[in-house]
């Protein structure tokens, strides 16, 4: 006996949201989409999705509301604004937030949503970038009630290869902050390595191959080092501004918790310097330009 799939509303059709929605449609989920710039929804509507004209309308027509938005301020506006999700929300609904947000703000918003309309909240930030979103191989770290996660698990496994319950609401965002700390610091060191190799007369395009399988190996090394060495900065798969936002959030949260994160704080300042040179909307592979000889 077949069971009808829950209807999904997805807000945020960007670099990650678009391929995630493609996968949900391909899996047969009834999908309604909303984006601040509605033209970004055109491909999905042509593929069978419905278009909502506000987050409230999106929420009213969906069993579960999925968010993949830029930052905490945007999520707060989409959820609590004049035509926000809560105005169409109801008890029994589930909000799944794939965005990377501040953990403290996530906990506060989840409590407020529950009080206003009874919706449950899962914070489910993802790692794996656009290639992972396209292939359905994202790593998804989840905070929330175990029963809510079980309701959402089939959807999450359509989008990712690994779903890990990290604890109560907000725990997913703490885990994502840890992820971004490692990724960003790694990216900055890889940029230094590539620039040093180039300046020393070593073929930097061979660095990733030479270090593969050793203790220095990592996915960022295998992806970023060749791109940096070849100055291959497009197509853009993620943005410098995203890493900077996440680093700033990690430093802020660590301060709230009384935890020392000096390396992450330095990484945030280096990322800010790079962004201030016109690179906020560019791929982090451009970080190598910080260290290249500009003479």
Q: What is the mean pLDDT of residues 91-95?
A: 97
Using pLDDT thresholds of 50, 70 and 90, give the confidence band for residue 295: low
DSSP-based three-state secondary structure for 192: helix
| pLDDT tens, position by position, 167-222 | 999 999 999 999 999 999 999 999 999 999 999 999 999 999 999 999 999 999 99
Q: What is the mean pLDDT of residues 113-139?
A: 97
Closest CA to 163 of 66, 6, 172: 172
Using pLDDT thresholds of 50, 70 and 90, give the confidence band for residue 293: confident
What is the reported pLDDT for 283?
97
What is the reported pLDDT for 2?
46
pLDDT at 18 over 60: yes
- For residue 93, CA distances in Å to 11, 39, 48 come to 15, 27, 23
Q: Are 167 and 147 in contact (CB under 8 A)?
A: no
Q: What is the mean pLDDT of residues 220-235?
A: 97
Percent pLDDT > 70 in the chain is 98
Q: From the candidates 176, 219, 237, 294, give the one annotated as an active-site residue.
A: 176
| pLDDT tens, position by position, 43-56 | 999 999 999 999 99
Does 245 qualify as catalytic in the annotation? no
What is the reported pLDDT for 89?
97
Q: What is the mean pLDDT of residues 104-110?
A: 97
Q: What is the mean pLDDT of residues 282-287?
A: 98
Question: From the CB of residue 153, how many other CB atoms can be counted at a distance below 10 Å?
Answer: 14
Write the burial class of residue 159 (CB in 10 Å: 0-12 exposed, 13-18 middle, 19+ buried). buried
């Amino acid at each position: 006996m077949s069971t009808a799939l829950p209807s999904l509303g997805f807000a945020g059709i960007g670099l990650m949201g678009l391929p995630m929605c493609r996968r949900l449609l391909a899996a047969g989920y009834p999908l309604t989409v909303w984006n601040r710039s509605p033209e970004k929804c055109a491909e999905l509507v042509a593929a069978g999705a419905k278009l909502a004209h506000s987050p409230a309308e999106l929420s009213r027509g969906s069993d579960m509301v999925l968010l993949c938005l830029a930052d905490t301020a945007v999520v707060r506006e989409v959820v609590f604004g004049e035509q926000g999700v809560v105005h169409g929300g109801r008890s029994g609904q589930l909000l799944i937030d794939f965005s990377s947000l501040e953990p403290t703000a996530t906990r506060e918003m989840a409590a407020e949503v529950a009080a206003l309309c009874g919706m449950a909240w899962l914070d489910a930030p993802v790692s794996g970038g656009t290639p992972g979103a396209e292939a359905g191989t994202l790593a998804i770290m989840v905070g929330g009630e175990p029963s809510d996660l079980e309701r959402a698990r089939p959807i999450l496994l359509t989008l990712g290869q690994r779903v890990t319950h990290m604890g109560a609401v907000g725990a997913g965002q703490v885990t994502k902050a840890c992820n971004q700390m490692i990724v960003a610091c790694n990216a900055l060191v890889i940029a230094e390595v590539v620039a040093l190799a180039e300046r020393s007369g070593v073929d930097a395009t061979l660095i990733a191959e030479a270090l593969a399988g050793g203790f220095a190996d990592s996915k960022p090394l295998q992806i970023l080092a060749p791109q940096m060495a070849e100055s291959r900065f497009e197509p853009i798969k993620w943005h410098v501004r995203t890493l900077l936002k996440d680093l700033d959030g990690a430093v802020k949260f660590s301060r709230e918790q009384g935890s020392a994160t000096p390396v992450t704080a330095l990484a945030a300042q280096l990322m800010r310097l790079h962004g201030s040179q016109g690179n906020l909307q560019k791929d982090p592979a451009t970080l190598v330009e910080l260290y290249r000889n500009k003479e």
